[in-house]
């Protein structure tokens, strides 16, 4: 049986007036390392499975600061079909974020692992105010150790002050168009991720494009922000690259 669940966070300068988990998405307020609030997503059950419909909504209101992380990686798994002989269908995981004026959101979940036989469509959409600030990390691990990946389609869109800042769609696995594992895309690597940082500080001092390693690059956005894109043989190597970029570009 598929699961439908939506978790919601609202952050204000005074605290967290809304912190509501649902189904497999449990939310816990945890100690923040700096100013503002911190929320950790804790998986209460195995999800997403085929057929599941999950969503997280986070609203950071004017002047607030919020960090959202996770206690463990998210593993996309095959589901059970509704009827014998049917395919289980794909799962959906939607992340909807909004950041107000003078607010900051640091969205730093753990890795998403696409297990063999799974089929997940994930979409992250962000509405960022003109003076808001966003730090967003995405990491995908294609298959558990020693197994091929499932099918994974992801899309990340960011709108700043009502105008498009970033829109990217990626597809991996047996359900994706051919060439995703070729030299022009992953080149045999099984860990892929990106770090997007946007904020008014990039209007005053834009970043310069540069190569960070043999498999990582920093690219300025067509607006006040930067994107770090990296591939690596495994999750540890990918996190190392993105953490170094966050230290140097997090400002």
Question: Cα(229)–Cα(208) distance, rounded to whole angstroms?
Answer: 14
Domain boundaries, the chain: 9-249
Span of 43-52, 93-102, 128-137, 192-201 with lowest mean pLDDT: 43-52
pTM, full prediction? 0.93
- Structure confidence at residue 68 as a pLDDT band (50, 70, 90): very high
Please state, as a whole number, how many other Cβ atoms lie within 10 Å of the Cβ of residue 232.
23
Q: State the DSSP H helix or E strand holding residue 236, giving kind and residue range, or none if neither.
A: helix 235-249
- Chain centroid to CA 175: how far? 21
- Residue identified by tokens 């998405």 is 25
């Amino acid at each position: 049986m598929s699961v439908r669940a939506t978790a919601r966070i609202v952050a204000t300068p005074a605290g967290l007036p809304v912190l509501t988990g649902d189904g497999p998405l449990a939310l816990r307020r945890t100690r923040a390392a700096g100013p503002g609030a911190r929320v950790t997503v804790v998986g209460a059950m195995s999800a997403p499975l085929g057929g599941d419909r999950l969503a997280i909504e986070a609203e950071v209101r004017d002047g607030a600061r919020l960090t959202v992380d996770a206690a463990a990686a998210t593993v996309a798994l095959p589901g059970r079909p509704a009827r014998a002989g049917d395919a289980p269908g794909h799962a959906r995981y939607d992340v909807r974020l909004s950041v107000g004026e003078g607010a900051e959101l640091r969205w730093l979940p753990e890795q998403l692992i696409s297990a063999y036989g799974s089929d997940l469509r994930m979409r992250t959409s962000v509405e960022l105010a003109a003076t808001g600030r966003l730090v967003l990390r995405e990491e995908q691990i294609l298959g558990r150790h020693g197994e091929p990946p499932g099918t994974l389609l992801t899309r990340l869109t960011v709108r700043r002050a009502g105008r498009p800042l970033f829109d990217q769609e990626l597809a991996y696995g047996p359900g994706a168009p051919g060439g995703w594992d070729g030299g022009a895309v992953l080149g045999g690597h099984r860990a892929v991720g990106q770090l997007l940082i946007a904020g008014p500080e990039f209007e005053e001092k834009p970043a310069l494009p540069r190569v960070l390693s043999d498999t990582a690059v920093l690219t300025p956005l067509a607006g006040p922000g930067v994107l770090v894109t990296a591939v690596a043989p495994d999750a540890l190597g990918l996190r190392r690259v993105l953490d170094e970029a966050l230290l140097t570009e997090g400002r």
